[in-house]
């Protein structure tokens, strides 16, 4: 008999119910099983609805629409049975009133149940919540002024189910802000102990009980695990759900594995079209609970200015999803690494199939256009910087369609749909499966500062195939480069990221240069590196990879007091030409910060430039190496500069907490414009 481990690696020997729909040979919605086998059934039970295809059985509360049980792979209920039924699998929002800063979590309990489609091959059901203006203030504080239609789909021969939701506001309804919108599942903590977010970010995890026994750190999400953990190997580690966040463009599949029996639970998000704020928006994935979720809208890493904010009386409608909740299993094995690899690789294969099958052809909603009712946009993106010889292709650039707006407005847009792709080595792009609508085309080019916007509006109609040909981005540029710091890539990853405190580490990221920024407490290293004087960077002598701290944070001065800091850039000029010099300044993040720029006078009042109070993305605290992107072209009169030594002072004036500050993306000083 062939070696079982080898067979597990090839995925050939599988238990009878394992990977039944995780095949690379057929796409979602197609079924290779005889019609009389594994037909989808719907059963009405007391206060519930059950969907069953003989492979997986899902129980919903009725009419609430919460997922209260998932039976699969020898486990009666994959969800946490110790939680109340409404806290297992659910859609929810966090809603804020216009007049009050009141955060109210609402799990959107349905009041009406409907069967949308029913056949042996597929059942789609609906749980509807209808807003009642007379109940705007309910027992829980607020009833969200939105109609919600939660949908679930189970198909024949599939070990998983789809879910999506339609949100609608009618004209005249109260305004407010939807802080968060997501779908989440809380699994059995006794069984699901291994979490996978990506190929390199996966591990056995502590439990919720371990966290409860731990020591809270600078904020409640960060906990130092102690010797009272159920697993001693976690003692001395920091657990924080934000350490497992990722950019939306990279959140395609993540989830949990139970080792006994071997079962995987995976959230697959095949499209980001209904998410907010573009491809670089960061969101939560899976974390201790065990919890897995798909986040569609949230202020994390962007701040409260970004999100679903509605004016009084504003009408709006949007469909979120579908996402696929995929389940897989494998035969028991003593080789845990092989077992994990098998389940994870199969989940990735299934994700690829879901992406290829998008847009799905089986969604029973007029708000979800099929592929033949969508359009596409193609072209080639070039870059023309007049101080860099030639016109060159924008390879690996992100090009997308989003609601009409100003340059870069896509990173704050949330109410519409967005469609993004990456250019090839020749700058070619093809944006497909675009919903009909009115868009602008935007782009962000790695290595090039600023944002691009195509000035002609894009109108997509069903079947549109718009070919733009070659379009050219002329990035911000006034004069020749005198010096530069960093890489223009919307991130602070290239700057100096210190080693974590040995007693405050997450072992997953130990020794990882790529993910070092995800360690807890790195901001506090600044005070150790610069105990008396702030950072001084000397152009021509300093190296930004070693000498430019990743975040300009506040300085601790005792008595629990934190104050702003002033960084210096010292540089030489062989001559000062008459005219206007330009400081191109890009920030990768800002949190309750105000950055002032002065030249050769640290105390000049007023400063040459001030951002004013900006940002609340909290990327410093949430282990993000970037948040919201900011960019300015700052004019410096030649009379402010000297032949010989010069200093630019960058003062972050706001203090109060150790987590305030900015992250830089890129700084460039340009000389006066040269005559053609």
Exposed e or buried b for every residue in 209-245, given b needs 16+ CB within 10 A?
ebbeebeebeeebbbbbeeebeeeebebbbbbbbbbb
pLDDT at 22 over 90: no
Residue 100's pLDDT is what? 57
Residue 134's pLDDT is what? 74
pLDDT band at 168 (very low <50, low <70, confident <90, very high): very high
pLDDT at 36 over 70: no
**Secondary structure (DSSP) of 322-361:** EEEEEEEE----S-HHHHHHHHHHHHHHHHHHHHHTPSPS
Mean pLDDT computed over 127-156: 81
Residues whose CB falls within 8 Å of the CB of residue 28, separated by 6 or more in sequence, listed in order = 21, 155, 158, 324, 353, 354, 357, 360, 362
**Secondary structure (DSSP) of 521-562:** TGGGHHHHHSSSS--EEETTT--HHHHSBS-EEPEEEETTEE
Whole-number Å distance between alpha carbons of 566 and 651: 4
Residue 21's pLDDT is what? 36
Whole-number Å distance between alpha carbons of 147 and 155: 27
Residues 629-670: tens digit of each pLDDT: 999 999 999 999 999 999 999 999 999 999 999 999 999 999
**Secondary structure (DSSP) of 659-676:** T-EEEEEEEEEE-PPPP-
Whole-number Å distance between alpha carbons of 295 and 301: 13
Sign of dihedral through CA atoms 434, 149, 290, 239?
Answer: positive
Residue 390's pLDDT is what? 87
Q: Are 5 and 338 in contact (CB under 8 A)?
A: yes
Mean pLDDT computed over 337-341: 96
Whole-number Å distance between alpha carbons of 357 and 351: 10
Whole-number Å distance between alpha carbons of 654 and 10: 57
Q: Which helix (H) or strand (E) holds 4?
A: helix 4-10
Residues 245-254: tens digit of each pLDDT: 999 999 999 9
Strand ranges (E), 17-82: 41-45, 48-52, 57-61, 67-71
pLDDT at 13 over 80: no
Q: What is the 3-state secondary structure (H, E, C) of 164-217?
A: EEEEEECCCCCCEEEEEEEEEEEECCCCEEEEECCCCCEEECCCHHHHHHCEEC
Residue 31's pLDDT is what? 37
Mean pLDDT computed over 23-44: 58
pLDDT band at 3 (very low <50, low <70, confident <90, very high): very low
Residue 410's pLDDT is what? 98
pLDDT at 141 over 70: no
Count of beta carbons in the 10 Å neighbourhood of residue 335: 13
Mean pLDDT computed over 410-420: 97
DSSP state of 479: S
Sign of dihedral through CA atoms 122, 163, 184, 281?
Answer: positive
Residue 104's pLDDT is what? 80
| End-to-end alpha carbon distance in the chain | 78
Q: By percentage, how much of the chain surpasses pLDDT 90?
A: 86
- Largest Cα–Cα distance in the chain? 87
Q: Rounded mean pLDDT of the chain? A: 92
Residue 105's pLDDT is what? 83
Residues 286-315: tens digit of each pLDDT: 999 999 999 999 999 999 889 899 999 999
Does this model's pTM top 0.75?
A: yes
pLDDT at 142 over 70: no
Both tokens of 290, joined, read: 């065990």
Residue 171's pLDDT is what? 95
User: Considering only CA atoms, which of 489, 491, 387 is closest in space to residue 444?
Assistant: 489
pLDDT at 33 over 70: no
Residue 606's SS3 state is coil
């Amino acid at each position: 008999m062939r070696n079982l481990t080898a067979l597990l690696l090839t995925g050939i020997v599988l238990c009878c119910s394992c990977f039944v729909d995780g095949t690379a040979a057929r796409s979602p919605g197609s079924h290779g099983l005889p019609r009389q086998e594994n037909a989808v059934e719907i059963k009405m039970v007391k206060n519930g609805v059950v969907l069953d295809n003989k492979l997986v059985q899902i129980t919903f509360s009725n009419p609430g629409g919460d997922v209260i049980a998932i039976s699969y792979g020898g486990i009666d209920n994959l969800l946490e049975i110790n939680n109340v039924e409404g806290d297992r699998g659910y859609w929810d929002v966090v809603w804020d009133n216009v007049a009050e800063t009141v955060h109210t979590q609402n799990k959107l309990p349905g009041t009406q149940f409907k069967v949308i489609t029913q056949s042996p091959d597929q059942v789609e059901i609906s749980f509807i919540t209808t807003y009642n203006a007379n109940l705007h203030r309910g027992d829980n504080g607020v009833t969200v002024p939105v109609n919600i239609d939660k949908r679930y789909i189970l198909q024949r021969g599939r070990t998983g189910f789809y879910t999506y939701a339609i949100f609608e506001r009618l004209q005249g309804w109260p305004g407010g802000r939807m802080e968060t919108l997501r779908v989440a599942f809380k699994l059995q903590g006794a069984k699901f102990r291994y979490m996978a977010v990506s190929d390199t970010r996966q591990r056995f995890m502590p439990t919720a009980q371990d966290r409860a026994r731990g020591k809270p750190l600078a904020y409640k999400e960060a906990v130092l695990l102690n010797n009272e953990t159920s697993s001693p190997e976690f003692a001395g580690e920091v657990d924080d759900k934000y350490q497992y966040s990722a950019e939306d463009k990279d959140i395609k599949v993540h989830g949990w594995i139970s080792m006994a029996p071997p079962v995987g639970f995976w959230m697959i998000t095949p499209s980001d079209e209904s998410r907010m704020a573009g491809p670089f928006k960061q969101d939560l994935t899976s974390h201790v609970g065990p919890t897995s979720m798909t986040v569609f809208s949230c202020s994390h890493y962007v701040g409260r200015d970004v999100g679903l904010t509605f004016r009084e009386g504003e009408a709006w409608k949007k469909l979120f999803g579908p996402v696929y909740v995929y389940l897989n299993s494998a035969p028991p094995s003593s080789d845990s690494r092989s077992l994990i690899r098998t389940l994870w690789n199969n989940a990735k294969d299934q994700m690829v199939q879901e992406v290829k099958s998008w847009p799905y052809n089986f969604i029973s909603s007029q708000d979800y256009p099929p592929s033949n009712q969508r359009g596409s946009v193609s072209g080639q993106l070039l870059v023309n910087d007049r101080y860099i010889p030639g016109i060159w292709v924008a390879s690996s650039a992100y090009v997308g369609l989003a609601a009409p707006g100003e340059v870069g407005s896509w990173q704050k847009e949330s109410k519409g749909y967005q469609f993004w792709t990456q250019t090839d080595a020749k700058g070619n792009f093809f944006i497909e499966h675009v919903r009909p609508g009115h868009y602008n085309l935007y782009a962000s080019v790695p290595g090039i500062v600023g944002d691009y916007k195509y000035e002609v509006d894009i109108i997509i109609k069903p079947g549109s195939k718009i070919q733009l040909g070659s379009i050219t981005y002329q990035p911000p540029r006034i004069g020749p480069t005198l010096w530069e710091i960093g890489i223009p890539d919307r991130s602070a990853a290239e700057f100096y990221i210190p080693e974590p405190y040995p007693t405050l580490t997450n072992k997953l990221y130990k020794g990882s240069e790529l993910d070092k920024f995800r360690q807890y407490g790195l901001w506090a290293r600044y005070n150790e590196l610069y105990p008396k004087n702030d950072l001084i960077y000397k152009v021509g002598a300093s190296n930004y990879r070693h000498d430019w701290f990743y975040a300009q944070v506040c300085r601790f001065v005792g008595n629990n007091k934190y104050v702003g800091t002033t960084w210096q850039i010292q540089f030489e000029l062989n001559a000062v030409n008459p005219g206007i010099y330009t400081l191109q300044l890009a920030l990768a993040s800002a949190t309750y910060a105000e950055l002032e720029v002065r030249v050769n006078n640290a105390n000049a009042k007023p400063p040459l430039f001030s951002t004013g109070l900006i940002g609340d993305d909290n990327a410093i605290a949430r282990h993000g190496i970037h948040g919201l992107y900011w960019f300015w072209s700052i004019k410096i009169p030649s009379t402010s500069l000297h032949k010989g030594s010069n200093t630019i002072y960058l003062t972050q004036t706001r203090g109060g907490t150790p987590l305030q500050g900015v992250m830089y993306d890129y700084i460039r000083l340009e000389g006066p414009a040269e005559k053609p």
